[in-house]
Each structure stands twice: as C-alpha cells, then as structure tokens.
Amino acid sequence: MAAPTSKKWFAVYTRPRWEKKVHKLLEEKGIESYCPLNKVHRKWSDRIKIVDEPLFKSYVFVKVNEDEKTQVRMTDGVVNFIYWLGKPANIKEKEIETIKRFLNDHHDVEVRPVDIEAGKKVMVQSGILMGKEGTVKKVLHKKVEVVIESIGFILSAYIDKSKILLLDK
C-alpha cells in the first residue's frame, strides 16, 4: 500500500456538465485538481467566439494520497473514481503533463477512444501470455481474439480487452 504522503493522479467521474464546478469545489478544499479545458470555436448567428469546454466529458483529475480519497468522493458533483482492473485508475504524471502541453499548443482538440480492431498489433499485459505480442483476429463484446505467433505456431486466445496494449495506432 502507498504511503499516505505520496500523492498520485487519479480520474474522477462527475455528474454531467459539472466538470468545472467539481474542479472549483476540490480546489476550495485544498485538493490539487485539473480539469483540462479545450479552446473551441463556437459559432452563433452574429459572431464566432472561443469558449473553454472540458476536454473529457464528466472527468476531472485529482492528485491525492490515500487519506484524501474520501474527501474527493464526498465532494458535491463527484460520482466516483474511474476504476481500471478493479482499482482507481492511476494516471501517470507524464500523461497529465502531455495533456497540459497539448492543450496549450492546440485548439479544437478532438477526443476519441482507442479502437481495438482486427489486424492491429497488441501486447498481452497479464496472464499466462503476458509480454507476448500478437495480432487482433476478432473483436467480440468484451473480449478480443488475438493470434500469437511464437515458436513456429499460431496460438489463438481470447483475451479480455483490459489485458492488452495496442502497439500500433
């Protein structure tokens, strides 16, 4: 378990359209928070205006230690932490810095989820096939069939989507 003093970035899920409010409420509590804002051109009948919109709908990032997680959950507008593999998703400092730099340099940024589709190269991240690279053969509801070429054989395994890493975009 992490020491209570070590702070890490996490993503929290907010009520719809509450990203800026949650960010403000967290800051008022003394909790380090980041709500990435995208500068977007909006057109009205008489003018075009640049407005700040949250980059990730219903997401705010917080840098907290274990002791502060309850305070975050109790903040008005926070639904819960975003979970990945059964634990609150830890976001790397480097990824937060990349988002900040990208938004500083670009406007009208578009966010799309990573698509896992047939023909993509992937690496298995856990389980008996951990570290093995393969090619996606089929994408099912929550599973991916990956062909793993190894020692002259082609193995076909159904692997949970959360346990693979996309290698080529």
Q: pLDDT, tens digit, for every residue of 24-43?
A: 999 999 999 999 999 888 88
Mean pLDDT of 47-52: 91
pLDDT at 35: 97
In what helix (H) or strand (E) does residue 5 lie, and over which residues does it extend?
A: none
CB of 145 closer than 8 Å to CB of 118: no
Q: Which residues partner with 150 through β-bridges? A: 153
Task: Count the residues in the chain.
Answer: 169
pTM over 0.95: no
Mean pLDDT of 95-111: 86
In one letter, which amino acid is 83? Y
* pLDDT of residue 2 exceeding 50: no
pLDDT at 119: 81
Q: In angstroms, rounded to a whole number, what is the distance separating the alpha carbons of residues 28 and 152?
A: 60
Name the token pair of 86: 């059964």
Mean pLDDT of 137-154: 65
